[in-house]
């Protein structure tokens, strides 16, 4: 289990860029980094970006971020984070994973 208390300092990082549609939940990222301890997601699109840990979730019940915002998730590789565009078009998403 990763130690996120005190002075957490990443030893490596991986960055992935995805286009997330409004039609279905997409895993962020598609293939997780092994041994990760933290995921940072930035919305670079024109619409809100919504998050879920359940790919069958209703979008109106989920938390989201606006354009230009970043959200941090202290999750390991065995937990899947899903994203979905809240508008009519795709959202460009930058996912940075740390371990």
Q: Rounded distance, CA 56 to CA 39, Å?
A: 21
pTM for the structure as a whole: 0.90
- Residue 1 has a pLDDT of 47
pLDDT by 10s per residue, the chain, length 99:
455 555 678 999 999 999 999 999 999 999 999 999 999 999 999 999 999 999 999 988 899 999 999 999 999 999 999 999 999 999 999 999 999
Q: How far apart are CA 6 and CA 53, in angstroms?
A: 26
Contact call for residues 38 and 27 (beta carbons, < 8 A): no
| Torsion sign, CA atoms 66, 70, 74, 79 | positive
**Helix or strand (DSSP H, E) at 72:** strand 70-73
How confident is the model at residue 64, as a pLDDT? 96
Cβ(75)–Cβ(16) under 8 Å?
Answer: no
Q: What is the pLDDT of residue 80?
A: 97
DSSP letter (8 states) at residue 32 = P
The domain limits of the chain are 14-98
Residue 3: the pLDDT is 53
Domain 14-98 has CATH 3.40.640.10: no
């Amino acid at each position: 289990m990763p130690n996120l208390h005190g002075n957490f300092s990443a030893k490596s990082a991986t960055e992935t860029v995805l286009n997330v549609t409004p039609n279905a939940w997409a895993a962020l990222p598609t293939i997780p980094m092994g041994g990760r301890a933290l995921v940072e997601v930035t919305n670079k699109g024109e619409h809100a970006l919504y998050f879920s840990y359940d790919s069958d979730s209703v979008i109106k019940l989920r938390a989201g971020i606006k354009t230009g915002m970043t959200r941090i998730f202290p999750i390991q590789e065995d937990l899947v984070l899903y994203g979905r565009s809240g508008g009519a078009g795709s959202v460009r998403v930058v996912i940075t994973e740390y371990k």
